[in-house]
Amino acid sequence: MATDILMPQLGESVTEGTIAKWLKKPGDPVSKYEPICEVSTDKVNAEVPSTIEGTIVELVVEEGTTVSVGDLICRIQEAGTAAAEEEPKAEAAKEEKASAKAEVPAQEETSMKQRYSPAVLKLANEHNIDLTRISGTGRGGRITRKDILRAIEQGVPAAAEQPVAAEKSAAPREETKPEPAQPKQPAPVAEAAGVPLENGDIEIPVTAVRRTIAQRMVQSKHEAPHAWTMMEVDVTGLVELRNRLKEDFKKREGVNLTFMPFFIKAVVDSLKEFPYLNSVWGGDKIILKKRINISIAVATDDALYVPVIHDADEKSILGLARAVSQLAEKTRAGKLDLKDMQGGTFTVNNTGSFGSVLSAPIINHPQAAILSFESIVKRPVVTNQMIAVRDMMNICLSLDHRILDGLMAGRFLKRVKERLEAYGPNSEI
């Protein structure tokens, strides 16, 4: 009996993935849970594990092909079962293949997902429906007018990775506030259209990752009213401390001691004092998150990822240093998996790493705030009626003004500042 292996659901909002590479070929034995192929989606790159032990019979989908969740990707002959019925099965497989082939044009057309007909756009606008949350039953995943009418009747399907976000999209419809839904999706697309091309201009097709980034950024900017504030921090003590410890630390622990763990620790401890900073906007409520999961911004040459250090409040400076280094490595190697990306409750951004002294970061939706740590620079500072040379750093906070007001944000920021300034050359870590 050959068993059908289907494209697994790689995260709640993921509906399709591209078979990046087959790790097995027909005839190869596989054990249960052994990876059989690599799949890339607009969110993560992941490996698809085998669900059974056996031998690969057939790879149905070619590398580079994008398939929907639930589609047949390959077949495995289960270990221990007789291959007696192989022949009729093989024929069936052939048929399967033929039908899979017949589907190929449809699969190529998954771009139809974002091809909206005038009727669909009009209805979505009138009813404030977020089209990204509706699955299409038309050819190539196109959202049909009937899909929209059904959604209006039954309410927009609760989608999305964070349940909160789903509530959010449901809430404004009832309040009839034309708040988030409509501008979200089309904006990046709309910008692209209508730009006149001149000779020599180069058009770069937008990758799935880039498109996701664009959507998230637009969504955050449209939905969350950003307020911004900045404080100066005297980190002279911290710089001295790090300089004292870093060589031993590297030798002993095998990871570099950067400033990041100190920043994260100061943030985490302050979040415990101000749980509102560790919350999400729920439409008609604010949800204070119990776990403190810190998203850290990690840039690659062409994209920006925000992997998550889960339960950062349970980690020491060493633990944080390890976590940061691992996530950074995984990101650059393109090896982040879904759980590395999910569940962040607050974002820390080390913009100083590329020399910035001031930034106004965009909140990592649906979190309440994001804090960026700028370059540490030596500056003349007045202390005790004297001018001294101190290591100064700006920290910049963007906050969702629906959740937070300046006062609480300021108090939080001040506690982060105090914690960082409390380090001296002889502090214990």
Partner 1 sequence: MPVISYIDAVTQALQEEMKRDSRVFVLGEDVGVRGGVFRATAGLYEEFGPERVLDTPLTESAIVGVSIGAAAYGKRPVAEIQFADFIMPAVNQIVSEAAKIRYRSNGDWTCPLVIRAPYGGGVHGALYHSQSVEKMFNGVPGLKIVMPSTPYDVKGLLKAAIRDEDPVLFFEHKRCYRLIKGEVPVEDYTLPIGKADVKREGDDVTVISYGLTLHFALQAAEMLEKEGISVHVLDLRTILPLDKEAIIEAAAKTGKVLIVHEDNLTGGVGGEVAALIAQEAFFELDAPVQRLCGPDVPAMPYSPTMEKEFMLNPEKIANAIRELAEF
Q: Respond yes or no on whether the N-terminal peptide bond of residue 35 is cis (omega within 30° of 0).
A: no
- Active-site residue, from 127, 222, 226, 401: 401
Kindly tell me the sign of the dihedral angle through the C-alpha atoms of 103, 106, 107, 113: negative
Q: Does 120 bind partner 1 (CB under 8 A)?
A: yes
- Active-site residue, from 28, 248, 284, 405: 405
Angle at 174 between CA 172 and CA 180, to 5 degrees: 15
Structure tokens at 189: 């697309």
Question: Could you give the CA distance from residue 61 to residue 19 in angstroms, rounded to a whole number?
Answer: 8
Report, in Å, the least distance between residue 126 CB and partner 1. Answer: 10
Binding range to partner 1, per CB under 8 A, among 118-126, 179-187, 225-233, 358-366: 118-126
Question: Could you give the CA distance from residue 423 to residue 235 in angstroms, rounded to a whole number?
Answer: 8
Report, in Å, the least distance between residue 136 CB and partner 1. Answer: 11
Report, in Å, the least distance between residue 193 CB and partner 1. Answer: 18
Number of residues near partner 1 (by CB under 8 A): 12
Question: Could you give the CA distance from residue 429 to residue 426 in angstroms, rounded to a whole number?
Answer: 9
Q: Does 119 bind partner 1 (CB under 8 A)?
A: yes
Report, in Å, the least distance between residue 117 CB and partner 1. Answer: 4
Q: Is 269 one of the annotated active-site residues of the chain?
A: no
Kindly tell me the sign of the dihedral angle through the C-alpha atoms of 18, 20, 24, 30: negative
Q: Exposed (0-12), middle (13-18) or buried (19+): which is 103, by Cβ within 10 Å?
A: middle
Judged by DSSP in three states, 343 sits in: coil
Query: Based on CB atoms, which residue is closest to partner 1, 104 or 119?
Result: 119
Annotate each residue in 123-142 with x if it binds partner 1 (CB under 8 A) or - if it does not, as one string: ---------------xx--x
Contact 17, 41 (CB under 8 A): yes
Query: Based on CB atoms, which residue is closest to partner 1, 121 or 381?
Result: 121
Question: Could you give the CA distance from residue 110 to residue 41 in angstroms, rounded to a whole number?
Answer: 13
Structure tokens at 339: 């759980």
Report, in Å, the least distance between residue 103 CB and partner 1. Answer: 12
Binding range to partner 1, per CB under 8 A, among 82-90, 115-123, 194-202, 367-375: 115-123
Query: Based on CB atoms, which residue is closest to partner 1, 123 or 396?
Result: 123
Q: Does 211 bind partner 1 (CB under 8 A)?
A: no
What is the CB neighbour count within 10 angstroms for residue 243? Answer: 11
Q: Contacts with partner 1 in 141-160 (CB under 8 A)? A: 142, 144-146
For residue 227, report the phi and psi dihedrals to the nearest 5 degrees.
-115, 160
Q: Is 147 one of the annotated active-site residues of the chain?
A: no
Structure tokens at 37: 């192929």
Q: Which of 94, 122, 250, 414 lies at the binding interface for partner 1 (CB under 8 A)?
A: 122
Query: Based on CB atoms, which residue is closest to partner 1, 129 or 297?
Result: 129
Active-site residues: which are they?
401, 405
Binding site for partner 1 (CB under 8 A): 117-122, 138-139, 142, 144-146
